[in-house]
Structure 1
Amino acid sequence: MVQRQRLCHLDTLPDPGSKGFSVNGENVFLIKQHGKVYLYRNQCPHIGIALEWVEDQFLDASHTMIQCANHGALFVIENGECVAGPCSGKALIALPFDIVDGYVELIAERVTDQEH
């Protein structure tokens, strides 16, 4: 069974900009850059902690890279690959989403007891 969770309207997200959300106990974040949207799990591949130290601040000062506030690791916005820092070569976990009527919706599969 596929479940959708509406996160926000595209117009509420600055470009470039970022925003975090908690969805069913999972922390995720959106990035908007040059009119494109990217959605990742809010978890550094280095030690598994959240990336931001200030709410909704996932980008570096130049707004061209995602930055982990803990060790300064830098990630490519378009694919989540770590290019600098202690987790170089690893990547953020991208999450599936759709844009419906201007709203970003996280797509999550949910296993029910009937599907076992």
Structure 2
Amino acid sequence: MKPVVAERVLCALADIPDGQSKGFPAVPGAFTGLFAVRRGDRVWVYVNSCPHIGVPLDPVPDRFLDGKKQNIICSTHGARFRIEDGFCTSGPCYGESLEAVPHRIDDQGRVLVPEDAGL
């Protein structure tokens, strides 16, 4: 039997515009926030921290993607990450990856993450 993992609602899927990204502040007791990228019914969730020096990726709230909306980008030094797996394809952290957050979309259209995501 699978152990039950405590979850929390990150947002409704509809809160993330299709083809866009959205940031979420750290919950009390957490070190950093999270962000999500949506493409259609698919969502990817990551910890909002660059693997190079640990700074948040977004220069402006909810702006995690490059101009063409094809890559996640770090505002501090321009590193680029694939949306699908968080792998860095260019920049000072080349070959490293963003910290992916397990998540699921429930039957009410809510994006759920583990209670301790971001800690």
| Identity, % of aligned positions | 42
2:112 is matched with 105
2:59 is matched with 53
Number of residue equivalences = 110
Question: Which residues in structure 2 correspond to 1:50-89 (within 5 Å)?
Answer: 50-89=56-95
1:9 is matched with 12
| TM-score under structure 1 length normalisation | 0.88
* C-alpha distance in 1 between matches for 2:41 and 2:110: 14
Deviations along 1:35-76, whole A, 9 cap, x unmatched? 310000000000000000100100000001000000000000
Greater share of residues in strand: 1
Structure 1: runs of 5 or more not aligned:
111-116
Structure 2: runs of 5 or more not aligned:
none
* C-alpha distance in 1 between matches for 2:84 and 2:57: 16
| TM-score under structure 2 length normalisation | 0.86
Give me the CA root mean square deviation.
Answer: 1.6
